[in-house]
Structure 1
Amino acid sequence: MSRNPRKNTSPRATIDDVAAEAGVSIATVSRVLNGITHKASAKTQQHVLDVVARLDYRPVHAGRALRTMRSALVALFVPDTSNMFYATIADAIASHLKDSGSSMILCNTRDEPAIQDRFLEEMESHLVNGIVLLGAVDSPGLRQAVANRLPVIFLNRRPPAGVDAPYIGVDNPLAGREVAEHFLERRWIPAGAIHGPLTSSASRGRYQSFRTQLARAGVKLEKRFVQPADLTIASGYQAAVDMLSERPYPRAIFCGNDLIAYGLYWRCCELKIRVPSELAIFGFDDNPLNEWLAPWLDTVRVPYEDYGAAVARALSLLSESPRRRIPREVILPHRLVIRR
């Protein structure tokens, strides 16, 4: 049984109810809740807070948001809510924002500029305290939001050319080079690659540096051993169907993310190609499920939890002073995960 019947049987308490119950003015209640301590005694303040708790009163923040032109809401834009990579980072960010008293709104852009722009316009009207773009696409609305000095932070994909805003993420080109060096050390030649959309700075950085590092060692990727794909299992599978349509097969394939790698693995199973003894698969992200479901997959691990802390810190700096110069680039550590 609930200790407070109001929660189940009565309308939500208002500031008028609190003032009447506490025997003080509405202005006194407002000042206490806003942390203005010099207008009431410590005893009165505690009495008001006790009544607030007893009535389960929850202040409406619209007035405060209008005064400060900022609310306690943070919008996180992701291109695919079904992707475990984005979901895990979203969870880490939400956890850290909760500790700072903020709440998160999740917006699924589906990687489409028009949808992203609609959400940007909507979030600006909500006076959000920050917009975190986990996989942004270039769009007119995005450039306008930055021009309007909205507190925008880019994650995973860098800001488009000409857009000055903070970036938080791993060094994708460095990771791609390290994967290439691993291929060379293992003598996994011929090599292949199923890369993500090259419009994404993350996918482009990984693939191009991988290809360049191999070329420096005198290893050229054959045209038929390079396939594009969306960052999904189905697209990875179709790319694998095209790449593995005839022998000989590559000795190893670098995939733009782990979901692409899953699709490739499924096609290998259909063709009875043994992984990794006949064909090694290398992914990117280190999906949290890999440890349980993909012991065959080598990959690049990104620090999911670090994203949450870095975003919370950047938003805190921006809220202190929107014009303050915060670090334009925060590079998080990555590492190669070799499971065999």
Structure 2
Amino acid sequence: MTPRTMAKTGKTRHEAVSLATVARETGVSVATVSRIVNSKSGRASAETIARVAEAIERLGYRPNPVGRALRRRASRVVAMLSPNLDNPAMAAIAVSTEAALRDAGYVMILCDTHDRPELQDDYLQAMRDQFVAGYVMVSAVRSKGLEEALGRGDPVVFVARRNPFGGGAFVGIDDRAAGADAADFMLARGIERPAVLMAAQNISSTAERAAGFIERLVARGIPDEAIRRASAPGLSHIEIGYSAAGALVRDGGWPPGALCVSDLIAYGAYRLAVESGLAIPRDCTLVGVDGNGLNDWIAPWLTSIRIPYEIFGRHILEQLRLQWSGAVTSEVHVPHESLAATPQ
């Protein structure tokens, strides 16, 4: 496309020109444009064919081979986009998904988005250029590229954190139920004034854990104002746990118990407790969420709600297959391991 043409159409080299763009310019349907592009003009008149051909040339439209590959499932590659792969929970989801895809004859590419929308979009575009068959979005954030992928109807499964735009295929636990389980656990041990530690950017999964915890405590007679809450900014859950625990201590001292919305937040809180001379769990019961496999080795002091990440992969694969076949997807809630079964 020449600079003069770009000025005339208002397009830049970086703006995508789609079938819909050509259809709007020519006043015909997207289906008609698609047939003409694929040399299957059908009943389109010679005048319509010429008008569409002129618009294609003027706008610089090029057929999108990636979209065709996605629709035809020509690719055997699936992209997983996940933040902060140093988090054992993210790594466990990746291991489970890779194994399920490999057994089904697919190859998985793994990208770390670091919870940054611009990096998420860079990877979405890079993976689209690689003709991937679908995307597994672990703890996705809102971004323009994700919105566009959903608008195109690309196969996407959201894991752990729901679609930030709403709807879509989802695999995770019932986070509210997990929070409620933690509340029951504490009340059963006589801890009637527990606290909750969370991230300042409390997104769907961790926000629902905290909400379920508080709602269950209130339902069982604990005044809402008696439930202490502390949060801290950042992306590292260990650092968030340390800082949030510090804020809690400065605002009234250590509570007898606290829900940490992830195991890593509990690790951070534990570090501060050790520095403060507290014995965990004797002086403060910390309950985490994840059930990190390392806990038995490095955190025997932690009670954790275990999420069976090892079975996530098969559910993720099934949700992708439903989309590839044009079937209806759903929200899959994988049961977490009840704390009632946790030995004390």
Instruction: Give TM-score scaled by structure 1 length.
Output: 0.75
Aligned equivalent of 1:173, options 164, 176, 193: 176
Deviation at 1:142, TM superposition (A): 1.2
Deviation at 1:65, TM superposition (A): 5.1
Residue matched to 2:275: 270
The 8 Å contact of residues 189 and 250 in structure 1, kept in 2 or not, is answered as no
Residue matched to 2:290: 285
> In structure 1, what is the Cα distance between the partners aligned to 2:217 and 2:287?
15
Residue matched to 2:198: 195
Residue matched to 1:258: 263
> In structure 2, what is the Cα distance between the partners aligned to 1:325 and 1:66?
17
Aligned-residue sequence identity (percent) comes to 34
> In structure 2, what is the Cα distance between the partners aligned to 1:66 and 1:179?
42
> In structure 2, what is the Cα distance between the partners aligned to 1:250 and 1:67?
54
The 8 Å contact of residues 238 and 264 in structure 2, kept in 1 or not, is answered as yes
Aligned length: 274
Deviation at 1:197, TM superposition (A): 4.5
Deviation at 1:66, TM superposition (A): 8.8
Aligned equivalent of 1:82, options 80, 86, 95: 86
The 8 Å contact of residues 298 and 339 in structure 1, kept in 2 or not, is answered as no
Deviation at 1:79, TM superposition (A): 1.1
3-state SS, counterpart of residue 88 of structure 1: helix
Residue matched to 2:302: 297
> In structure 2, what is the Cα distance between the partners aligned to 1:305 and 1:259?
19
Aligned equivalent of 2:110, options 101, 106, 113: 106
The 8 Å contact of residues 178 and 209 in structure 2, kept in 1 or not, is answered as yes
2:140 maps to a residue whose letter is A
Deviation at 1:245, TM superposition (A): 2.9
Sort the Cα spacing of 1:292 and 1:67 in 2 relative to 1 into closer, same or farther, 3 A: closer
2:205 maps to a residue whose letter is A
2:126 maps to a residue whose letter is E
Aligned equivalent of 1:335, options 312, 334, 337: 337
User: Does 1:237 find its partner at 2:242?
Assistant: yes
Sort the Cα spacing of 1:198 and 1:180 in 2 relative to 1 into closer, same or farther, 3 A: farther
The 8 Å contact of residues 198 and 241 in structure 2, kept in 1 or not, is answered as no
Deviation at 1:205, TM superposition (A): 0.6
Sort the Cα spacing of 1:122 and 1:223 in 2 relative to 1 into closer, same or farther, 3 A: farther
User: Does 1:211 find its partner at 2:214?
Assistant: yes
> In structure 2, what is the Cα distance between the partners aligned to 1:224 and 1:164?
32
3-state SS, counterpart of residue 289 of structure 2: coil
2:293 maps to a residue whose letter is P
Q: Deviations over 1:186-215 (max 9, x none)?
A: 121321110235541101110011111112
3-state SS, counterpart of residue 239 of structure 1: helix
> In structure 2, what is the Cα distance between the partners aligned to 1:246 and 1:152?
43
3-state SS, counterpart of residue 277 of structure 2: coil
> In structure 1, what is the Cα distance between the partners aligned to 2:251 and 2:70?
64
> In structure 2, what is the Cα distance between the partners aligned to 1:215 and 1:144?
41
Residue matched to 2:231: 228
> In structure 1, what is the Cα distance between the partners aligned to 2:286 and 2:70?
53
Aligned equivalent of 1:144, options 148, 152, 176: 148
Matches within 5 A, 1:3-82: 68=72, 70-82=74-86
3-state SS, counterpart of residue 250 of structure 2: coil
> In structure 2, what is the Cα distance between the partners aligned to 1:200 and 1:248?
27
Aligned equivalent of 1:313, options 290, 296, 318: 318
The 8 Å contact of residues 240 and 267 in structure 1, kept in 2 or not, is answered as yes
The 8 Å contact of residues 182 and 213 in structure 2, kept in 1 or not, is answered as yes
3-state SS, counterpart of residue 110 of structure 1: coil
Once superposed, which parts of structure 1, at least 4 consecutive aligned residues long, lie more than 6 Å away? none
Q: Deviations over 1:247-304 (max 9, x none)?
A: 5421101001000000111111111111111110000001110111111111111111
Sort the Cα spacing of 1:174 and 1:67 in 2 relative to 1 into closer, same or farther, 3 A: closer
1:297 maps to a residue whose letter is L
Sort the Cα spacing of 1:142 and 1:134 in 2 relative to 1 into closer, same or farther, 3 A: same
Aligned equivalent of 2:164, options 157, 160, 163: 160
Aligned equivalent of 1:131, options 135, 154, 179: 135
1:159 maps to a residue whose letter is N
3-state SS, counterpart of residue 194 of structure 1: strand
Residue matched to 2:188: 185
Q: Deviations over 1:103-131 (max 9, x none)?
A: 11111111111111121122222221110
3-state SS, counterpart of residue 283 of structure 1: strand
3-state SS, counterpart of residue 243 of structure 1: helix
Instruction: Give TM-score scaled by structure 2 length.
Output: 0.74
> In structure 2, what is the Cα distance between the partners aligned to 1:174 and 1:182?
12
1:160 maps to a residue whose letter is P
Deviation at 1:231, TM superposition (A): 5.0
